[in-house]
Amino acid sequence: MKPFSIHIYGADRIFYEGDCESVSVPAVDGQYGILANHPNLITAIVPGTLYFRLPGEELRKAAVSGGIMKVEDSDVLILVDSVLWPEEIDERRARAAADAAKEAMLQKRSRQEYLSAQAQLARAVSRLRLKDSYEKGGRR
């Protein structure tokens, strides 16, 4: 496959910059895949698993929170609030965050608080799923 340039940035760090053969991001309507020479676009990213393949390497996976992806002239920019390798995910912390988000959703305070809790739950669940698949042999 023909490589293209990719930049993956979390709010607190540069996660990856370099060549890439393919990338798939979680979007509102499912996984959205990109190969070289993809038409220009901007799309929203939702919490889930980011998949990407570097030239000559195995498929890599990372947990991402919400953000955006911009494709322009075979250059991909991914900006997300957080991005973690599976081994960086703290399972206890993710479970606690999921429990707290579920409790906040049950409180039904305001629509904004409910939506915020719903987003926190989605992020925690996606991290737990990736961590679980990683530990069952789906390494990077």
pLDDT of residue 138: 56
User: Are 76 and 24 a contacting pair, CB within 8 Å?
Assistant: no
**Residue 122's domain spans which residues?**
86-135
Binning the chain into helix, strand and coil, the percentages to the nearest 5 are 30, 40, 25
What is the radius of gyration, based on Cα positions, of the chain? 16
Q: Is 66 within the bounds of a domain?
A: yes
Residue 140 resides in a domain: no
Q: Which of 64, 84, 104 is the last residue of a domain?
A: 84
4-10, strands of its sheet edge to edge: 13-20, 4-10, 75-80, 67-72, 41-45
DSSP 140: -
In a domain, 96, yes or no: yes
Q: Are 100 and 124 in contact (CB under 8 A)?
A: no
Are 90 and 54 in the same domain?
A: no
Residues 47 and 77 in one domain: yes
How many domains is the chain partitioned into structurally? 2
Do 126 and 64 fall within a single domain? no
Pair (38, 61) in one structural domain: yes
Record the tokens describing residue 14, joined without a space: 């540069």
Over its length of 140 residues, how does the chain's per-residue pLDDT go in tens digits?
A: 899 999 999 999 999 999 999 999 999 889 999 999 999 999 999 999 999 999 999 999 999 999 999 999 989 999 999 999 989 888 888 889 888 888 888 886 788 888 888 888 888 888 888 888 877 765 54
Length of the chain equals 140
Q: Could you tell me if 23 and 68 lie in one domain?
A: yes
**75 and 92 fall within a common domain:** no
β-pairing, 75-80 vs 4-10, is parallel
- pLDDT at residue 36 in the model: 94
